[in-house]
Amino acid sequence: MNTAHDRANRISSWSARGRDLLWIMTTIIISHLVLITIIGFELTNAFIPASVYLVFMTAMGILGSLDAMDDIAVQADDADDEEKQTKAWKRFNETQWGGFKGLLIGWFGLTALAELYVMWLA
């Protein structure tokens, strides 16, 4: 289970899921910019579908990002004793994932709530 090939697979998995996380975040940012443009141009006919999309995009963005973070973090659990002695593993293991998750949820969630507020209540 902890051969050189397994280590290479873990590194590949970290890389892939890290890339997934960055793509999810990029997609969410672009989507918010599009929605802010719709709001700015006061395209009120698009507010209902934009609201549905906003709720779906936010939920999928949060869930996908948290899943990617968990997948990245769980890879460290498979390391053998020799690998756990490396500085890279120690640094990775000390990462405070809760803080990143909280910021991500706040960022995506509060931005969505602000956009919904501007569309419907302001």
pLDDT single digits (tens) 47-70: 999 999 999 999 999 999 999 999
- Nearest-angstrom CA–CA distance, 74 and 69: 9
What is the amino acid identity at position 41?
F
The residue segments making up the domain with residue 8 are 4-120
What is the amino acid identity at position 39?
I
Pair of tokens at residue 58: 């936010």
Q: How confident is the model at residue 2 (pLDDT cuts 50, 70, 90)?
A: low
- What is the count of structural domains for the chain? 1
